[in-house]
Chain A
């Protein structure tokens, strides 16, 4: 994918530019535009690596209250993930597992593993502004959308692609459109979800981008509800390791129950 993002990229798309991203400097030499599918696939993989382990702090913010918690998560490929709360004590041990297209949750207080019905996938995850789908369906963009490279711009000396994603006709997608802002080093700057009247409903944005675990990434990201003031969830990545060896047993319901230590 890297080669697609090489310096040979022309900025022919500047004609498409509008106010959303500072317009790219016009370049005389026309060259092929990058393939939006490749851009998105690269960004998804970049964010996750082949495998990853991250420690996060989460802040759920509401007009009249806020809640902080700490989590750790393991991912493998595009389909396997395990997320576990480590603090506060009340929530510690609550965990969510994704294996393939199925998801489970585990609550130590009940000592029960519950397979999530698909009907719950669009519901809020752990009371945050993320839905289960946001966590698990990262590849939807590649499978169910028509991607259009709408604009190429420049921010702080780096190239930024705006990719508009329109759901295919019978796609299981409720949004009218998704809009991604991708930096040329695969960092996702923001992801905005539009309803079918093309009004923005919620937005995921990177508030702080720097190197962590050997990669450039949004180390503080915020998902905000755009139709409700002061509704947002922030996740701060405290520690990240990529491409480490993870045992198969990690992504099983047994591991979900036993503390995510690999069973």
Chain B
């Protein structure tokens, strides 16, 4: 039996029950659109997490003194040789920053908070979020600038402002506490309030002087290409023997883990939505077959082969699926476009940021993801039609006609 005829038959069958198939289609469109959109959001979240993990003073790769991660402090620091970059092939690094990062307590007239005090070289911080952060007041002028940059959220908690003095207490290299007043040069607006609450910045040389050291606690690097990470890590491990060389996945294991979970989440969402739908589709097909037992028996009696009957049912299912998936992808794409500005999650900012995401979630649609979703949906459609088709093959023309 020619394909054209089968197609015609299938098309007619679909059109015969517009309401039933229309509802089926609607369910399909919604399901596919939701999978496409969800996929876009999760991809957006993943990119956010990766960007933020790298931006958050981590960089792609970092050199730390052993033990610093378990017990950060000025004692776990190292001296940075002036020629350390000779170990790396030129052109690999987009930028680098050496910092002195220590736990500290900041005190204002009205509050006390624990923070990380980070001594930075202002120019070098182009590698982190500080490079293009929004500021009220002034940025640090140079590495010797003894003023501080405070996050806006922290300033709100401490009820302080640009130009005021905060007292900072931390531990010097000799283990004794150091305290001093620092003027606030500016307030920075990071993407997340968690960052704003966690980090207070000052000039690295000013901080070294206060703590009585010439060392730094970390060297953070940003690469042009993440794919060159293993090469850079190996070179660094060789030249910084005795120090820890760690990439962002090791430094931010929760972000790396979320990355993997997000992949799984996309897949699970797809399975749940489309799985439920497959049973709906199967049900629709069986219903339409049960209605047409006489008709199908007649076709068989007229000499239509079992193969062709099966093909007709599968075609019918595939047609439905094709229309549904196409419309669903379009709808999902439209929804993603509508959300192009991003979903403002700032209401739940604290929770969201604890996962290393930004407060605004922008969906990202990858062509290969959409193609995969469409293809898998069609496969599922065919799979869903197998059982109904098997039922059709079992119809005995004599019995069917006798009804």
Digitize B103-123: 1 where CB-to-A-CB distance is under 8 Å, 0 elsewhere.
001011110101000000000
* A171 interface neighbour in B112, B160, B169, B181, Cβ under 8 Å: B181
How far apart sit A187 and B160, CA to CA, in the bound complex (Å)?
34
Please tell me if B182 contacts chain A, counting CB pairs below 8 Å: yes
How far apart sit A118 and B104, CA to CA, in the bound complex (Å)?
10
B146 partner residues in chain A, CB cutoff 8 A: 170
* B167 interface neighbour in A174, A193, A201, Cβ under 8 Å: A174
Please tell me if A230 contacts chain B, counting CB pairs below 8 Å: no
A119 and B182 contacting across the interface, CB-CB below 8 Å: no
| Nearest-neighbor residue (CB-CB) of A202 within chain B | B109
A123 partner residues in chain B, CB cutoff 8 A: 112
* A169 interface neighbour in B114, B177, B179, B181, Cβ under 8 Å: B181
B177 partner residues in chain A, CB cutoff 8 A: 118
Other contacts beyond A118-B179, A119-B114, A167-B165: 12, CB < 8 A: A118-B169, A168-B181, A169-B183, A171-B181, A172-B169, A172-B181, A173-B165, A174-B109, A195-B110, A196-B160, A196-B164, A201-B110
Digitize A70-113: 1 where CB-to-B-CB distance is under 8 Å, 0 elsewhere.
00000000000000000000000000000000000000000000
Q: Which of A123, A171, A172, A195 has the most CB of B within 10 A?
A: A172
Digitize A169-213: 1 where CB-to-B-CB distance is under 8 Å, 0 elsewhere.
111111110000000000000000101100001000000000000
Give the total of A residues in contact with B, Cβ under 8 Å. Answer: 18
- In residues 110-135 of chain A, which contact B (Cβ within 8 Å)? 118-119, 122-123
A167 partner residues in chain B, CB cutoff 8 A: 165, 181
A173 partner residues in chain B, CB cutoff 8 A: 165, 167, 181
Please tell me if B166 contacts chain A, counting CB pairs below 8 Å: yes
* A119 interface neighbour in B164, B165, B169, B180, Cβ under 8 Å: B169
Rounded to whole Å, the gap between the CB of B211 and the closest CB of chain A is 14
* Nearest 6 interchain pairs by C-beta: A119-B105, A172-B179, A195-B109, A196-B164, A172-B167, A118-B177
B179 partner residues in chain A, CB cutoff 8 A: 118, 172
Rounded to whole Å, the gap between the CB of A6 and the closest CB of chain B is 36
B167 partner residues in chain A, CB cutoff 8 A: 122, 172-174
How far apart sit A176 and B183, CA to CA, in the bound complex (Å)?
12
How far apart sit A167 and B109, CA to CA, in the bound complex (Å)?
13
Rounded to whole Å, the gap between the CB of A173 and the closest CB of chain B is 6
30 contacts between A and B (CB under 8 A): A118-B105, A118-B169, A119-B105, A119-B107, A119-B114, A119-B169, A123-B112, A167-B181, A169-B181, A169-B183, A170-B181, A170-B182, A171-B180, A171-B181, A172-B167, A172-B168, A172-B179, A172-B180, A173-B167, A173-B181, A174-B107, A174-B108, A174-B109, A174-B167, A174-B181, A193-B109, A195-B109, A196-B160, A196-B164, A196-B165
